[in-house]
A and B are shown apart, each in its own frame.
Chain A
Amino acid sequence: MKEMLVETIKNLFSKPATVKYPQEPSPPPANYRGLIVYRAPLCIFCTKCEMVCPPGAIRFTYGEDGSKKFHYNPYLCIYCGECVRACPKPGCLTQVEETAPPETEVPDWDALEKAAEESKKAFLKARAAAKAKKK
């Protein structure tokens, strides 16, 4: 009891352990697992990141000619970094230390998931048909 009393009185005059957050900025955490950054020019569209992503926050939509487009939902992402480790092309997918999600509008994700699935199916069907034709 005496020790706690001494400590309490000491703490009355010592510097606070906390930061007055909204007035002062919170110190940026080093080594933080932050946002996933995608660089389209480097991408080889192997869709490995889509396959490993646990919550399905990365989806590819397929065009009619087989071209693919990358979509990322930062609000669904769990920031585990699995996609970055799966990416075979260094620098294409990176995880930065920035904490806040970007102020970008996320498209209607449910519709996008549906579109991704349907476009993939259509693309695979078209490819199978083309192969059969060749034979």
Chain B
Amino acid sequence: MGKRITVPFGSQHVALPEPVRFVFQTENEKIVDVEVDVGYVHRGIEKACATKFKYMQVGYVVARVCGLCAISHTLGYVTALERLMGVEVPKRALYLRLLVSELDRIHSHLLAMGHTAEVAGYENLFMQTFRHRELVMEMLELLTGNRVQFDFACPGGVNRDLTPEVEKVLREKLKLLEEKALWLKDVYENDFSLALRWKGIGVVTEKMAKEMNVVGPPARAAGLKTDARAEFNYLPFKEVGYKMVVLKGGSIYERNLLRALEVLNSIQMCWNVLDGLPEGEIKVPVKGLPEGEMFVRIEAPRGELFYYIRGSQKLVLDRVRIRVPTFSNIPVMKELFVGMDYADVPATVISFDPCLSCTAR
């Protein structure tokens, strides 16, 4: 026991974009024990949704759970509410939601890839990735009016329509982005020094992924076929050419390569949406009061996002429950760390792309 050294990692750490705390017990360089604390940014949003805000306003509140997957949270809530109240959403609104959701996925994946490169000591690639990410941010700003809090989806449809002028700019930027994304994928796949640093580090096997309920890119990189986009029909993904990307291996290298491949698939989907956008209404009025309960599963950029709502003929809902992807991915991280070198920890944590403001909410 006397030989053990306690090394805290977080809640504030240069490698971490968000506050999570790991306390490692190490023997020499090897980790023998780990404790996790995820509750640093608790804001009581679930309680506020069930006491303070009316059911039409909750969409704007849950959008503030997380900045990176803002549209996913709103989408989860409004889909649940629409199913509960039996609202038929116009087709054009569904396609516009899909467009924003995929653009959101692209920017989130590029952020995760860039951060992992930075933590591996590859500042140059980090800068390049973030430079190209800016294109997506500009597209989202044009489309929704804000860089981070989109407030795009609302119960019954979407808040903004896609005008021809915006569509023209989107097409130009998407073309440029596709070029850059292909180049980035090439770098992440073939870079010699990155492969040295990442291949075979932090391996999640398929069995582990299944047992520990890993979701999102880490699960798919381990070979587990799980994606809410394919399993739960909430947006017309099949019509716009969604393909599930599954890789074998499950190390940091595969996780990032999978993100790069998913970015390409998302860009393809955006092209298809822009080409085949149906005409018509973008919003239908929602009337009445919610009664009953409903849950939905949404594929957020980080994995499966779960929403449960319950209402009883009142303006304020009885319960809003959010289960976020990072919460599902924490147990496997804990398992991975035991027996790992301390030097590999930052890259492993960031490659899971943890979002703590989602987890603690």
The chain A residues found within 8 Å of chain B, CB to CB, are: 1, 3-4, 7-8, 17, 29-33, 52, 54, 78-82, 85
Chain B residues with CB under 8 Å of A7's CB are 128
If A3-B186, A3-B187 touch, whether A33 touches B125 (CB-CB below 8 Å) is no
**Interface 1/0 per residue, B145-156 and A, CB below 8 Å:** 110010100000
**17 pairs, CB–CB < 8 Å, chain A vs chain B:** A1-B191, A1-B192, A3-B183, A4-B128, A8-B124, A17-B131, A30-B142, A31-B143, A32-B141, A32-B146, A52-B56, A54-B53, A54-B60, A54-B61, A78-B151, A79-B146, A85-B159
State in angstroms the CA–CA spacing of A5 and B151 once bound together.
Answer: 40
Whether A33 pairs with B146 at a CB distance below 8 angstroms is yes
Residue of A3, A4, A29, A54 with most partner-chain B CB within 10 A: A54
State in angstroms the CA–CA spacing of A80 and B154 once bound together.
Answer: 11
* Nearest neighbor of B141 in chain A, beta-carbon distance: A29
Residues from 26 to 67 in B contacting A, C-beta threshold 8 Å: 53, 56-57, 60-61, 64
Chain B residues with CB under 8 Å of A79's CB are 146
State in angstroms the CA–CA spacing of A3 and B180 once bound together.
Answer: 13
Query: How far apart are A132's CB and chain B's nearest CB, in angstroms?
Result: 28
Cβ of B244 under 8 Å from chain A: no
Whether A31 pairs with B166 at a CB distance below 8 angstroms is yes
Whether A54 pairs with B124 at a CB distance below 8 angstroms is no
Query: How far apart are A66's CB and chain B's nearest CB, in angstroms?
Result: 25
Query: How far apart are B81's CB and chain A's nearest CB, in angstroms?
Result: 15
Residues from 282 to 330 in B contacting A, C-beta threshold 8 Å: none
Whether A31 pairs with B142 at a CB distance below 8 angstroms is yes
Residues from 98 to 157 in B contacting A, C-beta threshold 8 Å: 124-125, 128, 131, 134, 141-146, 149, 151
State in angstroms the CA–CA spacing of A85 and B61 once bound together.
Answer: 18
B interface residue count range (under 10 / 10 to 19 / 20 to 34 / 35 or more): 20 to 34
Residue of A79, A82, A85 with most partner-chain B CB within 10 A: A82
B contacts with A: majority SS: helix
State in angstroms the CA–CA spacing of A54 and B61 once bound together.
Answer: 8
* Nearest neighbor of B146 in chain A, beta-carbon distance: A33
State in angstroms the CA–CA spacing of A52 and B60 once bound together.
Answer: 11
Given contacts A3-B183, A4-B191, 15 further A-B contacts (CB under 8 A): A3-B186, A3-B190, A4-B128, A4-B187, A8-B124, A29-B142, A33-B146, A33-B151, A52-B57, A78-B64, A80-B60, A80-B151, A80-B159, A81-B151, A82-B57
Chain A residues with CB under 8 Å of B60's CB are 54, 78, 80, 82
Residues from 63 to 97 in B contacting A, C-beta threshold 8 Å: 64
State in angstroms the CA–CA spacing of A4 and B159 once bound together.
Answer: 41
Chain A residues with CB under 8 Å of B56's CB are 52
Q: For the complex of A and B, list the 5 residue pairs with the smallest distance between their C-beta atoms, beginning with the closest.
A: A33-B145, A54-B57, A80-B151, A54-B60, A1-B192
Chain A residues with CB under 8 Å of B64's CB are 78
State in angstroms the CA–CA spacing of A86 and B8 once bound together.
Answer: 51
Chain B residues with CB under 8 Å of A30's CB are 142
If A29-B141, A31-B145 touch, whether A4 touches B124 (CB-CB below 8 Å) is yes
Query: How far apart are A19's CB and chain B's nearest CB, in angstroms?
Result: 11
Query: How far apart are B117's CB and chain A's nearest CB, in angstroms?
Result: 10
State in angstroms the CA–CA spacing of A7 and B125 once bound together.
Answer: 10
Contact of B149 among A8, A17, A78, A85 (CB under 8 A): A78
* Nearest neighbor of B149 in chain A, beta-carbon distance: A78
State in angstroms the CA–CA spacing of A125 and B150 once bound together.
Answer: 41
Whether B159 pairs with A31 at a CB distance below 8 angstroms is no
Whether B149 pairs with A4 at a CB distance below 8 angstroms is no
Chain A residues with CB under 8 Å of B145's CB are 31-33, 81
Query: How far apart are B260's CB and chain A's nearest CB, in angstroms?
Result: 14
State in angstroms the CA–CA spacing of A40 and B2 once bound together.
Answer: 74
State in angstroms the CA–CA spacing of A52 and B64 once bound together.
Answer: 17
Chain A residues with CB under 8 Å of B128's CB are 4, 7
Whether A31 pairs with B131 at a CB distance below 8 angstroms is no
